[in-house]
């Protein structure tokens, strides 16, 4: 399987750490109990410690559909592919517009793909990775030969999963499960894949199901579908709640072990693209522990946590600036709520 086209389009509104702090100040001031400035000083220190500088949000009135279509058309053009040449379209993102039907149908309709097969894959930040793995299985079976994987993360549109819920603090205690939202960004990606039996991707996964309640976006009726937990729904239904420090503590050994699974390719890998999901110094230390410290790459400081879009965005940006070349083997390294972690290797 090979990537014949890949595009990343960040949202239009550039947000600095100062902008984030001002959003929190304005939304929290009316009901905050305690010293809000002290809380903001702590958040600022944390953002600086983890290497977060900027990220991009969709502006009010900006729709994710237009950049999704632009990204798709760019990927199709790179591949020399027409819309009706695509056999399979998968939407794979954290954010979505519909429970029913799949978002993929609406994207296909907007692209004029009337014969393409469609479905969504939902697995938090792991969705794009799972979609690629599933696509490779389809290619190996001979069922499809050309696939388009699309996502659009829109956490910060008004009424979205992270805004304004995570920015409306009532006390300093809320920071423990709201802070992750201050590090995220919006954007869209499209990946055009073609069957190629001479270029198989290698996928590795590890998981710890006992930590599933640490990072959630619950729906109505969730309580009847899971073991009781006081961590779920603290920001409300349909809102992002993440105990990021606990996620990192639990993820450490899994992330190191899954990256070590790329050791058979170590001599030929020059880049390992890391999930844009957290502290750069900590993830760098994990990469060094696994023996890949010299080749791990981050787009997190500039673009924030892009959720399921983070790996295709990393690939697209490095291909665009020429640091990733055709025919070069690289790896990527993901962590996701659930908890699930993955590493993979492929030739670009």
Tokens of 189: 């990606």
The DSSP 8-state label assigned to residue 178 in this structure reads H
- 3-class DSSP assignment, residue 199: coil
Res 60: pLDDT: 83
Query: Does residue 272 come out as left (phi exceeding 0), alpha (psi in the -120 to 50 range) or beta?
Result: beta
CA distances to 47, 228, 302 from 15, rounded to whole Å, are 13, 37, 10
Give the span between the Cα atoms of 138 and 144, in whole angstroms. 6
Cα four-point dihedral sign 310, 312, 318, 323: positive
Give the span between the Cα atoms of 122 and 203, in whole angstroms. 18
pTM over 0.85: yes
pLDDT in tens, the chain (348 residues): 999 999 999 999 999 999 999 999 999 999 999 999 999 999 999 999 999 999 999 998 899 999 999 999 999 999 999 999 999 999 999 999 999 999 999 999 999 999 999 999 999 999 999 999 999 999 999 999 999 999 999 999 998 899 999 999 999 999 999 999 999 999 999 999 999 999 999 999 999 989 999 999 999 999 999 999 999 999 999 999 999 989 988 999 999 999 999 999 999 999 999 997 789 999 999 999 999 999 999 999 999 999 999 999 999 999 999 999 999 999 999 999 999 999 999 999
Res 150: pLDDT: 98
Could you tell me which of 344, 340, 348 has the C-alpha nearest to residue 122? 340
Give residue limits of the domains in the chain. Answer: 202-347
CA distances to 32, 56, 137, 187 from 190, rounded to whole Å, are 41, 18, 19, 11
Number of H-type helices and E-type strands within the chain: 10, 14
Res 278: pLDDT: 81
Res 248: pLDDT: 86
The H or E element spanning position 21 is helix 17-28
Fold of domain 202-347? Peroxisomal Thiolase; Chain A, domain 1 (3.40.47)
- The residues near 65 (Cβ < 8 Å, ≥ 6 apart) are 106, 107, 110, 152
Could you tell me which of 168, 143, 166 has the C-alpha nearest to residue 156? 166
Could you tell me which of 4, 331, 345 has the C-alpha nearest to residue 194? 4
């Amino acid at each position: 399987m090979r990537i014949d086209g890949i595009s990343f389009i960040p949202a239009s509104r550039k947000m600095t750490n100062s902008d984030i702090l001002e959003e929190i100040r304005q939304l929290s001031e009316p009901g905050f109990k305690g010293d809000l400035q002290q809380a903001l000083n702590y958040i600022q220190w944390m953002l600086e410690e983890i290497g977060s500088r900027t990220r991009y949000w969709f502006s009010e009135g900006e729709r994710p559909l237009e950049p999704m279509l632009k990204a798709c058309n760019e990927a199709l053009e790179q591949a020399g592919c027409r819309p009706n040449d695509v056999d399979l379209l998968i939407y794979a993102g954290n954010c979505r517009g519909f429970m029913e039907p799949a978002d993929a149908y609406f994207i296909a309709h907007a692209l004029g793909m009337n014969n393409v097969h469609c479905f969504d894959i939902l697995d938090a930040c792991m969705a794009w990775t799972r979609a690629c793995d599933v696509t490779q299985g389809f290619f190996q079976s001979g069922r499809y030969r050309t696939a388009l994987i699309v996502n659009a993360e829109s956490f910060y549109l008004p009424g979205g999963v992270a805004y304004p819920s995570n920015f409306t603090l009532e006390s300093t205690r809320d920071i423990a499960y709201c802070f992750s939202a201050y590090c995220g960004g919006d954007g869209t990606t499209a990946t055009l894949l073609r069957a190629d039996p001479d270029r198989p991707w290698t996928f590795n996964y590890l998981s710890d199901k006992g930590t599933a309640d640490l990072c959630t976006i619950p729906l109505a009726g969730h309580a009847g579908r899971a073991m009781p937990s006081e961590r779920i729904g603290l920001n409300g239904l349909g809102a992002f709640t993440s105990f990021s420090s606990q996620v990192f503590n639990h993820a450490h050994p899994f992330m190191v072990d899954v990256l070590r699974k790329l050791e058979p390719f170590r001599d030929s890998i020059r880049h390992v693209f890391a999930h844009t999901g957290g502290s750069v110094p900590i993830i760098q230390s994990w990469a060094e522990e696994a023996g890949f410290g010299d080749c791990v790459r981050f787009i997190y400081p500039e673009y924030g946590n892009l959720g399921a879009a983070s790996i295709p965005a990393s690939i697209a940006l490095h291909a665009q600036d020429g640091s990733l070349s055709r025919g070069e083997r690289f790896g990527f390294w993901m962590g996701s709520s659930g908890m699930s972690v993955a590493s993979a290797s492929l030739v670009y």
